[in-house]
Structure 1
Amino acid sequence: MKFILQLFFIWLIYAVSDLVVSFLDLPIPASVFGMILLFLMLVSGVVKVQYIEKATTFLNKHLSFFFIPFAVGLMNYGGLIKASGVQLLIMIIVSSAIGLLMTSGLTQFLARRVASKHEHKHEQSNFH
């Protein structure tokens, strides 16, 4: 029952984000807006990880299953892929590299920031 409630809560966040995006006519997909909304709720502490942990673990475990419709849909665009395959491949590689570099840079920045906070606290405790 807990799993169903968590799944419903995640769906509810998506439904609310869909309404907000439609109402405000935002140029962003409702699913992306929903992820941002969920992230902000997690960071602010409004939503605790344990409220959604079982459902998100299940969804992440079966993530590849959700790409099957996308892969099947690509079969309809064989001509486009054949004509522009090299350009598409270059765009995929470049955008993936940018995403990886941004993620690694942000991770390193945050790790250094946390380390400096711990170091600063340690220095203050040794000073007194």
Structure 2
Amino acid sequence: MKYIHQFLIIITISFMGELLSILLPLPIPASVYGLIIMLICLFTKIIKLNQIEDVANWLIIIMPLLFVPSAVSLINVADTLLQDILIISVITLVSTIIVMVVTGKIAQLIIERKEQNKNG
């Protein structure tokens, strides 16, 4: 019963993200809305981590299996992808570098703030 309750919490948050995506005329995917709602709920302690942790960890473990159908469907559009392979490669490389730099800078800021809080 515990796992069903945890799964229902996650599904409810996901559904709320879907509703926001329909109601708000912004080009933001429903999954992003769901993640933001979950983040807010966790930070404000509306949802405590132990209320979803077990099922969330299980979903992370099976995540690669969830991408298999998407990867297989790429075979259907292989010709189109091969025509634009250079553009796709450049975009992937540049966006990966940007994500790495931004993530590194944010990690540095967090570490510096923690050190300031310890010393200050």
TM-score normalised by L of structure 1? 0.88
- Where does structure 1 lack aligned partners over 5 or more consecutive residues? 121-128
Q: Does 1:41 align with 2:41?
A: yes
1:18, 1:89 → 2: CA distance? 31
% same residue: 28
Secondary structure class of the residue paired with 1:28? coil
Alpha-carbon offset, residue 24 of structure 1: 2.2
2:62, 2:97 → 1: CA distance? 25
Alpha-carbon offset, residue 43 of structure 1: 1.3
1:105, 1:3 → 2: CA distance? 37
Residue in structure 2 matched with residue 58 of structure 1 by the alignment:
58
Residue in structure 2 matched with residue 17 of structure 1 by the alignment:
17
State which structure, 1 or 2, has the greater radius of gyration over its C-alpha atoms.
1
- Where does structure 2 lack aligned partners over 5 or more consecutive residues? none
Note the 1:92-103 alignment, pairs <5 A: 92-103=92-103
Secondary structure class of the residue paired with 1:62? helix
User: Where does structure 1 differ by over 6 angstroms across 4 or more consecutive aligned residues?
Assistant: none
2:30, 2:109 → 1: CA distance? 29
Alpha-carbon offset, residue 5 of structure 1: 1.1
Note the 1:1-128 alignment, pairs <5 A: 1-120=1-120
RMSD: 1.1
Residue in structure 2 matched with residue 125 of structure 1 by the alignment:
none
